């Protein structure tokens, strides 16, 4: 699901970069029918020098602005989803659960789904209320995108040969480790720079719980946080977010690599003979590349579910004990650290609270505050 703030967008952007490279068709060349060896893919630096390319010097600012604009559009469209998700994460349940039945026919209590919750927000604040906290989130995502683009210019990725033959597993693993390390560096730096705006966005949204107006603008919010909490107040919840990003990147890339290396057969072809043809030798790899792209996508979903507790803990710490009702009892204890928060949620069986927005059963250890 859309993780709170820049979390989901950043993780998706980090995994999409490798996925996009996996879908690039290899250059045309004569390959041995049984042991094909794809040629080296053009590096980012080589493409930047190409005339008229997307990464050329003249078009680079335009391309970066396009990515920022597209990211802003996606962020705005997905904001109501993230807004409802955050309110559920902090335990705000303004509507009582309803009685229903599960697949086994047993009666269970279900909490309101995303659509019911969104309708309630519209009733209270109007349609514009669904976009509370959007401005700092747009700024956070834009800053993250610009940071990643600038880092690619300062530290361009090295040219790495795409190896897919099982006889070259060591070389292939080195390539994945190098690419993942590079992505991790960019993700961590962009996360740290954009996190203060993420904190402001979270606090603006959870004001819905207590109907406060403490955080009303970006500049005024910066002043309040610095005055009350100091410089560290801008980075509360950063560590679990960073850990979640690192685990996501390494887990997704390594799992996809081993599955593709050991389970995907490069000799599979689209042609009836299964060996490609002289006019289109690259067709021999089309099915394998398609399978690899789906593998990366599926692994991204699976790993994101496993790393969700890091996202939840990071978001709760961002609003905990900040003077807002959503960060104080009964919605949440005052946590001493993110580890304290993790242990508390684990004991309550709430480490995946808010991960589902459609079918939300009331668990036995639920600590929701029902109004």
Digit-coded pLDDT (tens) for 244-267: 999 999 999 999 888 887 777 666
**Residue of higher predicted confidence among 170 and 10:** 170
pLDDT of residue 319: 96
When the pLDDT of each residue in the chain is averaged and rounded to a whole number, the result is: 79
Distances (CA, A) of 325 to 84, 92, 133, 264: 17, 10, 17, 52
pLDDT of residue 257: 86
SS3 365: coil
DSSP calls for 203-215: HHHHHHHHT--S-
Distances (CA, A) of 201 to 193, 324, 351: 14, 13, 22
**Helix H or strand E encompassing 118:** helix 114-125
69-128: pLDDT as tens digits: 998 999 999 999 999 999 999 999 999 988 888 788 888 888 999 999 999 999 999 999
For residues 309 and 286, give the distance between their C-alpha atoms in angstroms, rounded to a whole number: 37
**Kind of pairing, strands 360-361 and 107-111?**
antiparallel
28-37, 126-135, 200-209, 274-283: which range is least confident on average?
28-37
**Residue of higher predicted confidence among 276 and 317:** 317
Tell whether the model's pLDDT for residue 19 goes beyond 80: no
296-300, 304-308, 341-345: which range is least confident on average?
296-300
For residues 171 and 163, give the distance between their C-alpha atoms in angstroms, rounded to a whole number: 7
Whose CA is closest to 236, among 360, 358, 324, 111? 324
pLDDT of residue 309: 97
Query: Token pair of 156, please?
Result: 């361009």
**Residue of higher predicted confidence among 255 and 161:** 255
Give the number of other CB atoms < 10 A from CB of residue 53: 16
For residues 216 and 348, give the distance between their C-alpha atoms in angstroms, rounded to a whole number: 33
pLDDT of residue 3: 43
Contact 3, 13 (CB under 8 A): no
Structure letter (DSSP) for residue 92? E
30-69: pLDDT as tens digits: 444 444 444 334 333 333 333 333 344 456 678 778 888 9
pLDDT of residue 22: 40
**Residue of higher predicted confidence among 153 and 247:** 247
Whose CA is closest to 5, among 106, 86, 110? 86
* Opening angle at CA 141, ends 209 and 326, nearest 5: 15
Which residues are registered as beta bridge partners of 109? 99
Q: What percent of the chain has a predicted confidence (pLDDT) above 90? A: 51
Give the number of other CB atoms < 10 A from CB of residue 36: 22
Tell whether the model's pLDDT for residue 242 goes beyond 60: yes
**Helix H or strand E encompassing 65:** helix 60-89
């Amino acid at each position: 699901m859309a993780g709170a703030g820049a979390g989901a967008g950043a993780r998706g952007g980090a995994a999409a970069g490798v996925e996009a490279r996996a879908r690039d068709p290899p250059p045309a060349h004569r390959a041995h029918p049984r042991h094909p060896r794809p040629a080296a893919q053009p590096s980012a630096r080589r493409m930047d020098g190409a005339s008229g390319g997307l990464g050329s010097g003249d078009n680079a600012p335009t391309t970066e602005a396009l990515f920022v604009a597209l990211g802003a559009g996606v962020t705005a469209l997905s904001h109501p989803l993230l807004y409802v998700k955050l309110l559920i994460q902090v335990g705000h349940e303004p509507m009582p659960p309803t009685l229903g039945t599960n697949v086994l026919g047993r009666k269970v209590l279900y909490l309101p789904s995303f659509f019911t919750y969104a309708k309630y927000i519209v009733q209270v604040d109007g349609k514009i209320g669904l976009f509370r906290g959007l401005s700092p989130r747009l700024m956070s995502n834009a800053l993250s995108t610009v940071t990643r683009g600038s880092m690619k210019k300062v530290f361009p990725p090295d040219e790495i040969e795409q190896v897919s033959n099982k006889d070259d597993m060591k070389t292939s693993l080195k390539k994945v480790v190098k690419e993942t390390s590079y992505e991790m560096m960019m993700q961590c730096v962009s996360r740290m720079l954009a996190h203060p705006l993420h904190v402001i966005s979270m606090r603006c949204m959870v004001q819905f719980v207590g109907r406060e107006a403490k955080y009303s603008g970006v500049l005024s919010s910066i002043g309040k946080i610095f005055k009350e909490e100091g410089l560290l107040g801008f980075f509360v919840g950063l560590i679990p977010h960073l850990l979640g990003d690192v685990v996501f990147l390494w887990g997704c890339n390594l799992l996809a690599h081993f599955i593709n290396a050991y389970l995907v057969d490069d000799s599979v072809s689209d042609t009836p003979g299964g060996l490609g043809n002289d006019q289109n030798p690259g067709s021999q790899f089309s099915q394998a590349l398609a399978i690899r792209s789906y593998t990366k996508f599926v692994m991204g979903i699976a790993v994101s579910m496993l790393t969700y507790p890091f996202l939840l803990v990071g978001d709760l710490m961002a609003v905990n004990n900040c003077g807002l009702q959503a960060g104080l009892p009964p919605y949440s204890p005052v946590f001493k650290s993110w580890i304290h928060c993790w242990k508390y949620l684990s004991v309550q069986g709430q480490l995946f609270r808010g991960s589902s927005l459609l079918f939300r059963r009331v668990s036995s250890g639920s600590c929701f505050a029902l109004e």
